[in-house]
Amino acid sequence: MRLKKMLGILVLLLVVSACSTNPFTGKQTMALVPNSQLFPTAFQQYDQVLKESKVVTGTSQSEMITRVGQRISIAAERWLNANGYSGYLKDYQWEYKLIDDKTVNAWCMPGGKIVFYTGILPIAESETGVAAIMGHEVAHALANHGQQRMSADYIQQGVALAGNIAIQNDNDRAAFNQYYGIGAQVGVMLPFSRSHETEADKIGLVLMAIAGYNPSEAAELWKRMKANSGGGAPPEILSTHPSNDTRIQEITSLVPMAVAEAKKFGITSFRPITKF
């Protein structure tokens, strides 16, 4: 029991002492892995992905990915500077690459390394659609969601270790591992991931609007995502992402907020939505 208490106190001290502030929400978030360690590792992984992939260069689509990415990152810097976070992006190394791959996906690594797969472009349908995706992915990096997920994983593993050390009976230990694994995943980690997706949607809307792209297109994008999924998504409670319907509804409700935020930066009209 004494060892269990000591481990619990140690985990609590680690969490309390290793927190950072999310500038977009004002919330304290877990940061057990500092960006000074996380970013270099992410950059190496990104370079490895590029070496193993067919990177598209010198085309109108690859140039568009770079153009949109630059506009979104500039919008992020403008917002951060205006809200008292000047220098927040000093360690970010923005890079935007298009990879020839049918995968319907895009992602941004911690520190600003971004990949779009050509497979997602038909669903994006326009430069504004690309901006909606770009804003969302950049938001994950800006809000340090990767750092938070790693921190949560470490805490989950630490609690599991503490339980296995503290529980002496083999049957009780087996039951703990079974129920803790399920409970931690469904009750903690999956809701944690879904909250990150919702947060990235909100931040992404603001960024695309400040960059001059109509945030209303984000809801239309997710309607196309829903159609492309064919209705095969798992129940929301068992998913890392909110359901398409939840997402569309939430994004639609946030559009006026994003428009109002863009007006603070002198953006009163948006680029026309022209399909590829």
Active site members: 137
d(CA 168, CA 233) in angstroms, rounded, equals 41
Q: Which residue has the tokens 């939505």?
A: 273
Q: How many CB atoms lie within 10 A of CB 211?
A: 26
Any bridge partners for residue 56, and if so which?
Answer: 98
Backbone angles phi, psi at 196, to 5 degrees: -65, -40
Instruction: Please give, one letter per residue, the 3-state secondary structure of the chain.
Output: CHHHHHHHHHHHHHHHHCEEECCCCCCEEECCCCHHHHHHHHHHHHHHHHHCCCEECCCHHHHHHHHHHHHHHHHHHHHHHHCCCCCCCCCCCCEEEEECCCCCCEEEECCCEEEEEHHHHHHHCEHHHHHHHHHHHHHHHHCCHHHHHHHHHHHHHHHHHHHHHHCCCHHHHHHHHHHHHHHHHHHHHHHHHHHHHHHHHHHHHHHHHHCCCCCCHHHHHHHHHHHHHCCCCCCHHHCCCCCHHHHHHHHHHHHHHHHHHHHCCCCCCCCCCCEC
